[in-house]
Amino acid sequence: MSFDDLLRIARDTALAGGELAARRRREGVSVAASKSSPVDIVTEADRETEALIRALLADARPDDGFYGEESDASESASGLTWIVDPIDGTVNFLYGFPHYAVSIAVVEGGPDPLVWRALAACVFNPATGEVYTATEGGGAYLGDAAAVTPARLAVAPPVPIGQALVGTGFAYDSDMRGVQGALVASLLPQVRDIRRMGTASLDLCAVAAGRLNAYFERTLSPWDHAAGALIAREAGATVKGLRDAAPSRDFILAAEPELARVLEARLVELGV
Ligand code: LIP
C-alpha cells in the first residue's frame, strides 16, 4: 500500500473521529475519570472517539498495530502501527476552547518514537475545519474537510531568537510544571513571545504553517507528537530531541533549522 493510500485512511478516519468529537462537544462534555493527576482528565468523548477510530482502522488495515491514548495497545502483524490521540488538547475540549485535534499517524515499526519511521500523518481540528496532512518525502499540506486542494506548507523563514514566537506546553505533574514554568520565565525575555495553546499536535502544525517560529515541550506521550512531528518535518522544520536524539517523552523541539540550533543551545544553557 502506498504512503498516499495510508494517508487517505488516516485522513478519512480523522475526519470521522473529529465529527464525532465535535458532536459530543455540542451536546456537552464532562470528565469521565482522571489519570496521572487530578488535572490529567479523560472524557467519555475521548474514549468513544478512540473506539470509533480503532474500529475504522481495524477494518481498513486489520494486520496493523494500534497504540492510542485511551485503550490497550495491539501488536502489529504487518510491521505498521497506528499512533492515535483521539482528542489532543483534552482540557481545551472539556472547556469548549476551539483548539483541539484528532491526531493519527502510521509508522513503520512499533510505538517507540526513538526508532519508528513515520510514513503518513493527519491532524484535524474539528473546531476550525483545518486538516493538516503529510507523507514521508511527500511534503506537508493544510486543507479542509471539503478536500479542496490543500496548500503546501513551509516553516517561517529564519529569525533571530529575539524575534521568535515560541510555543510550549506543560506536564500534568505539578512538580514538573514548576520546573517548566521556571524555564519559560527565564526564556521569555529572550524571545519575541511565548504561546501555550494546549495541543501539541496543533503546535507542531503551527510550526509547519509558519504560525510559530518554534515549539518545544517535555513529557509528551508518543500519540501527542507522532503526526505533528512528521507534518512539521515535511514542511522543512528540524524536529528533534536533545543533542542527537529523536523526539520523545524526554524532549521535542521543532523549528526552522538554524533557529532550532540556537534555541536548543539556549534551552540547554537554561537547564532544560
Ligand atoms: C496535551 C498536549 C499538550 C500538553 C498538555 C497535554 P492531551 O495532550 O497536547 O501539548 O501541554 O499537557 O499533554 O492530554 O490533551 O492529549
Question: Looking at the structure, do residues 88 and 220 belong to the same domain, yes or no?
Answer: no
- CATH code: domain of residue 246: 3.40.190.80
Overall average pLDDT of the 226-255 stretch: 97
* Mean pLDDT score of the chain: 97
Distance of CA 123 from the midpoint of ligand 1 (Å): 14
60-67 contacts, C-beta under 8 A, 24 or more apart: 60/9, 60/13, 61/9, 64/106, 65/110, 65/111, 67/110, 67/111, 67/222, 67/223
* DSSP of 65-106: EEEESSS--B--SSSEEEEEEEEESHHHHHHT-S--EEEEEE
Residues in the chain, total: 272
The residue behind cell 475521548 is: 46
pLDDT digits (tens, 9 = 90+) for 116-173: 999 999 999 999 999 999 999 999 999 998 877 899 999 999 999 999 999 999 999 9
Q: Is the CB of 50 under 6 A from ligand 1?
A: no
Judge if 146 and 192 occupy the same domain. Answer: no
- Is residue 250 a known part of a binding site? no
Q: Which position has the grid cell 474500529?
A: 55
Ligand 1 site, residue 70, Cβ cutoff 6 A: no
Ligand 1 centroid, distance to 91 Cα (angstroms): 8
Q: What is the domain extent for residue 108? A: 3-152
Same domain, 95 and 139: yes
- Same domain, residue pair 32 and 82: yes
Q: Write the CB contacts of 36 (distance below 8 Å, at least 6 apart in sequence).
A: 172, 173
Q: What local confidence, expressed as pLDDT, does residue 52 receive? A: 98
Residue 111 cell numbers, joined? 510505538
User: CATH no. for residue 140?
Assistant: 3.30.540.10
Strand order of the β-sheet with 214-217 is 193-195, 165-168, 214-217, 252-255, 238-240
Grid coordinates given for 210: 509558519
Domain boundary among 152, 187, 221: 152
* Element spanning 211, H or E: none
Q: Which residue has the higher pLDDT, 32 or 46?
A: 46
Predicted pLDDT of residue 30: 85
Rounded to an integer, what distance in angstroms lies between the CA atom of residue 93 and that of residue 22?
A: 9
Indicate the residue among 152, 187, 218 that finishes a domain: 152
Residue 42 has a pLDDT of 87
Residue 32: pLDDT band by 50, 70, 90 thresholds?
A: confident
Residues 115 and 220 reside in one and the same domain: no
Q: Do 54 and 98 fall into the same domain?
A: yes
Q: Check whether 224 is labelled as a binding-site residue.
A: yes
Query: Quick check: 4 pLDDT over 90?
Result: yes
- Kindly report the backbone phi and psi dihedral angles of residue 139, in degrees, each rounded to the nearest multiple of 5, phi listed first: 90, 175
In terms of domains, do 94 and 20 share one?
yes
Of the three residues 107, 126, 152, the one that is the final residue of a domain is 152
Query: Is the pLDDT confidence value at 39 over 90?
Result: no
Instruction: Between 116 and 39, name the one with better pLDDT.
Output: 116
Element (H, E) at 119: strand 117-125
pLDDT in tens, 51-109: 999 999 999 999 999 999 999 999 999 999 999 999 999 999 999 999 999 999 999 99
Residues 176 and 74 in one domain: no
46 marked as binding residue: no
Q: Which of 172, 194, 220, 223 to mutate to test the pocket of ligand 1 (most atoms within 8 A of CB)?
A: 220
What per-residue confidence (pLDDT) applies to 149?
Answer: 86
Residue nearest to atom 11 of ligand 1 (CA): 169
Strands 139-144 and 130-135: antiparallel
Domain co-membership, 113 together with 209: no
- Contact 101 CB / ligand 1 (< 6 Å): no
Sheet containing strand 151-152, strands side by side: 65-68, 80-88, 101-108, 117-125, 130-135, 139-144, 151-152
Q: Is the pLDDT of residue 198 over 90?
A: yes
48 and 146 inside one domain: yes
Count of domains for the chain = 2
The finding on whether 107 has its CB within 6 A of some atom of ligand 1 is no
146 and 31 within one domain: yes
Measured from the Cα of 87, ligand 1's closest atom is 16
Confirm or deny that 72 is annotated as ligand binding: no
What span, in angstroms and rounded, lies between the C-alpha atoms of 113 and 94? 28
pLDDT value, residue 40: 87
Ligand 1 within 6 A of 130 CB?
no
Assess whether 48 and 116 both reside in one domain. Answer: yes
Query: What confidence tier does 33 reach under pLDDT thresholds 50, 70, 90?
Result: confident
In angstroms, rounded to a whole number, what is the distance separating the alpha carbons of residues 179 and 247?
A: 20
